[in-house]
Amino acid sequence: MAMAASRVASQHNTADLESSRLRRSPPPPHQAQPRPPLPARSEDQDEDEDEEGAMTGGAAASQAYGEAWYWDERYRKEAGPFDWYQKYPALAPLLRLYVQPHHRLLLVGCGNSVFGENMVDDGYQDVVNIDISSVVIEQMKKKYHDKPHLKYMKMDVKNMSDFESGSFEAVIDKGTLDSIMCGQNSQENATKMLEEVNRILKENGVYMLVT
């Protein structure tokens, strides 16, 4: 009886030891499941990210967005045209709701955009473009010298005294107010710009801000 009890106890202890070993053994390594392939990127997605990167090119660059020298240097390096945020075909249906082809229009901070060219090609007869950069204005004057309905002038949006009050039926702004808000004295400069926009617009004129 004693020997049988001893064997049972020995077997019980051995089972406990094996159970303990099983409990303490590390779990099997996790088998990582393969990730599904990323969806294909569209050209529009790439263009949107390029635009965002261009506008948010770091704190040092953004602080200079209100300075003529920054844009002069930039347009000396940039060869091709560039449209901030939205191109004309995307905005044309909205624009036609408020602006007629015979209306006088002002594009502020035009840069080397083809927006004004697209408007003239679409039937608008008097499209004025201004920019703080003398470099890009000279480039655009040469490019569009044969388009009398498309005019280019170097001008600061905070002081548009070359224009009489109530000169335009519409002002279109694609990113110019944004660039001013990135720079120094942003609130003061933005106020000056908007006061000037309000001054040069005719009664019931339209200010289209794309931001």
> What is the C-alpha separation between 39 and 169, in angstroms, rounded?
45
Evaluate whether residue 7 is within a structural domain. no
Which residue in 193, 68, 61 sits closest to 132, CA to CA?
A: 68
Evaluate whether residue 145 is within a structural domain. yes
> What is the C-alpha separation between 206 and 200, in angstroms, rounded?
11
Segment (H or E) for 13: helix 2-24
* 84-113 pLDDT, tens digit each: 788 999 999 999 999 999 999 999 999 999
Give pLDDT, residue 154: 97
Residue 144 near residue 120 (C-beta atoms within 8 A): no
Give pLDDT, residue 46: 42
Q: How many domains does the chain have?
A: 1
Give pLDDT, residue 117: 96
Evaluate whether residue 83 is within a structural domain. yes
Evaluate whether residue 20 is within a structural domain. no
**Residue 8, phi then psi, degrees to nearest 5:** -65, -45
**CA 33, 39, 40, 45 torsion-angle sign:** negative
Please report, for the domain that includes residue 82, its CATH number: 3.40.50.150
Evaluate whether residue 30 is within a structural domain. no
Evaluate whether residue 67 is within a structural domain. yes
**CA 138, 143, 145, 148 torsion-angle sign:** negative
25 in helix, strand or coil? coil
* 153-211 pLDDT, tens digit each: 999 999 999 999 999 999 999 999 999 998 888 999 999 999 999 999 999 999 999 99
Evaluate whether residue 165 is within a structural domain. yes
pTM over 0.75: no
> What is the C-alpha separation between 93 and 119, in angstroms, rounded?
12
> What is the C-alpha separation between 147 and 140, in angstroms, rounded?
11
Among 50-54, 55-59, 91-95, 187-191, name the one with the lowest average pLDDT: 50-54
Give pLDDT, residue 79: 72
Q: Which residue range forms the structural domain that includes residue 128? A: 60-210
Among 8-17, 27-36, 180-189, name the one with the lowest average pLDDT: 8-17
Evaluate whether residue 109 is within a structural domain. yes
